[in-house]
Amino acid sequence: MSAAEQARAYIEAWNAHDTDRINSTFADGGTYTDPNVPDGISGAALAGYVNGLISVFPDLNFEITNLYEAGPDTAVVEWVMKGTNKGSLKGLPPTERTIALPGVDVIETGEGGITSVRGYYSNGTMMAQLDVQVIVRPKTVGPVSFGSATYTNVGNTAKPGVIGVTQIQLASPDQNDELSGYTRDILREISQMPGYIATLTGLTWNGHGVTVTAWEDMESAKAAVQGPAHSASMKAVFEPNGLGVSVWTSFWTDGQLNTRWQRCGECGSMAVVNSELKCKCGAAIPEPPWF
C-alpha cells in the first residue's frame, strides 16, 4: 500500500470507531501524537484515547478535504473533525453543540504500516465552537496569580447572615481538575438547600483555591457541610496523599453591611436601595443581589 492508501485506511478506521482497526494500521512501535498527547501513545493507550473522544462526540467523523503524498513514505491529510458534544469534556457538562474543527495529520509509513501520526489542530478553536470561554493571560505577574472564577446565584435576594470561606492549596496544578469536579458537585448540592444565596469560587493556575458562599443564617450554612458531596470532598482531602496539602474553612457572621446602591435606568444616578425600590427621580429601580 502507498502512503496515501495507508493514510486513508487509517482515517476510515477512525470514522468506523474501531480501535482494533486503528491500531492494526500501525507498524510495531508506531506512535500517535497531537496537542493533547504530545509525548506519543500507541496500542491500548491509543485505544483508550479514541474511546474517550468518541464518548465526548458519539457521532465523531473526519471529513478528508485534501490528501497527498509528501514523499514515498509520507502522507499529509487535511481534514475537518465533525461531531456533536454529547459527553463530558474536561469535566464540563455536554454543550450539545456541533463542531467543525480543521486539522492536519502528517503520517509516516513503512513496510509494516504507519510508523507515526502527528496531528495538528487548535484546542482553542474547538473550545470556542463549543461556546466554552478561552481566555489568554499570563500565569503570574509579580505577586498576582491568574486562574479562573465562577459565580453561582439562584436568585435569592435575602440579606446574608453568614459568609462561609474555604481555602485550599493543592499539591500541584495536576489536581485542579479533581478539585473543580468536587466543587461542581458541592455547588449543585448546596444551591438546592434552604437559606443558600450565592457562591464565588476562584482557582489559580498553581492550585490555590478559595470559595466564598453567602447564607441567610448559620443553621443553613452548617447544614451544607453535612451533604454527601461535601463529605466526599473532605474524604478526598483527608485520605493519605489525598487532595491538597492544606485546607482551611470558616464562617463569618454579619459585622457591617453598608448601604446598597443601584444605578437608575431613568436619570442615570446611583440610588439607595430601599424598601420602596424607587430612585429620587421617582423611577422604579431593580433590587440588586446582596452577593
What CATH number should be reported for the domain holding residue 105? Answer: 3.10.450.50
Task: Specify whether 61 is located in the same domain as 93.
Answer: yes
Per-residue pLDDT, averaged over 69-74, amounts to: 93
Measure the CA–CA gap between 98 and 112, rounded to whole angstroms: 36
Task: Specify whether 249 is located in the same domain as 264.
Answer: no
Task: Specify whether 262 is located in the same domain as 249.
Answer: no
Task: Specify whether 122 is located in the same domain as 152.
Answer: no
Q: How many domains does the chain have?
A: 3
Q: What cell was used for 119?
A: 496531528
Across 26-35, 132-141, 254-263, 281-290, which has the greatest mean pLDDT?
Answer: 26-35
Whether 87 is covered by a domain: the verdict is: yes
Task: Specify whether 115 is located in the same domain as 158.
Answer: no
Measure the CA–CA gap between 29 and 1, rounded to whole angstroms: 19
Residue 24 has what pLDDT?
97
Contact criterion met (CB below 8 Å) for 31 and 40: yes
Task: Specify whether 227 is located in the same domain as 188.
Answer: yes
The answer on pLDDT for 135 being more than 90 is no
Measure the CA–CA gap between 204 and 169, rounded to whole angstroms: 10
Task: Specify whether 199 is located in the same domain as 147.
Answer: yes
- Residues with Cβ within 8 Å of residue 118, at least 6 apart in sequence: 33, 34, 105, 106, 107
Last residue of a domain, one of 109, 129, 149: 129
Task: Specify whether 115 is located in the same domain as 152.
Answer: no
Per-residue pLDDT, averaged over 79-97, amounts to: 92
Task: Specify whether 97 is located in the same domain as 9.
Answer: yes
pTM, full prediction: 0.67
Per-residue pLDDT, averaged over 276-291, amounts to: 90
Task: Specify whether 236 is located in the same domain as 264.
Answer: no
**pLDDT tens figures, 98-128:** 999 999 999 999 989 999 999 999 999 999 9
192-227 as b/e, with b when 16 or more CB fall inside 10 Å? eeebbbbbebebbeebebbbbbbbbeeebbeebeeb
Whether 45 is covered by a domain: the verdict is: yes
Whether 124 is covered by a domain: the verdict is: yes
Domain encompassing residue 196: 140-253
269 or 290, which is more confident:
269
Query: How many CB atoms sit inside 10 A of residue 57's CB?
Result: 20
Residue 91 has what pLDDT?
74
Task: Specify whether 71 is located in the same domain as 150.
Answer: no
Whether 178 is covered by a domain: the verdict is: yes
Residue 161 has what pLDDT?
93
Task: Specify whether 16 is located in the same domain as 69.
Answer: yes
Whether 135 is covered by a domain: the verdict is: no
The answer on pLDDT for 31 being more than 90 is yes
Q: What cell was used for 169?
A: 492549596
Residue 61 has what pLDDT?
97
Last residue of a domain, one of 129, 148, 165: 129
Residue 177 has what pLDDT?
87
